[in-house]
Amino acid sequence: MADPKPINWRNALTIVSVAVLVGTELVGVSWAAGWALGGIFQLPRAFGIAFEVAGGLFGMLLLFYFVRAALKVEPIRG
């Protein structure tokens, strides 16, 4: 079995930094959209919270796919 390639710390730091920046924006916007939809349609508070949570989870899903695509461009190993 071949030894794994060493970690390229410069690329790793770039990926982590971008993930924090983009993740904050994606999750924040998705969460706010859920809050806004609950308010626009004057839903009960429980439904509003459900929309917020669903929006936050959707933002995290988008972040997952973003980081996966970023790792193809900036590989951490090698």
Predicted model pTM: 0.83
Q: Which tens digits make up the pLDDT trace of 23-69?
A: 999 989 988 998 999 899 999 999 999 999 998 999 999 999 999 99
Residue with tokens 């461009």: 73
Residue with tokens 């929309």: 51
Q: Which tens digits make up the pLDDT trace of 56-68?
A: 999 999 999 999 9
Return the SS3 of 58. Answer: helix
Phi, psi of 8 (to 5 degrees): -85, 100
Q: What is the CA radius of gyration of the chain?
A: 17
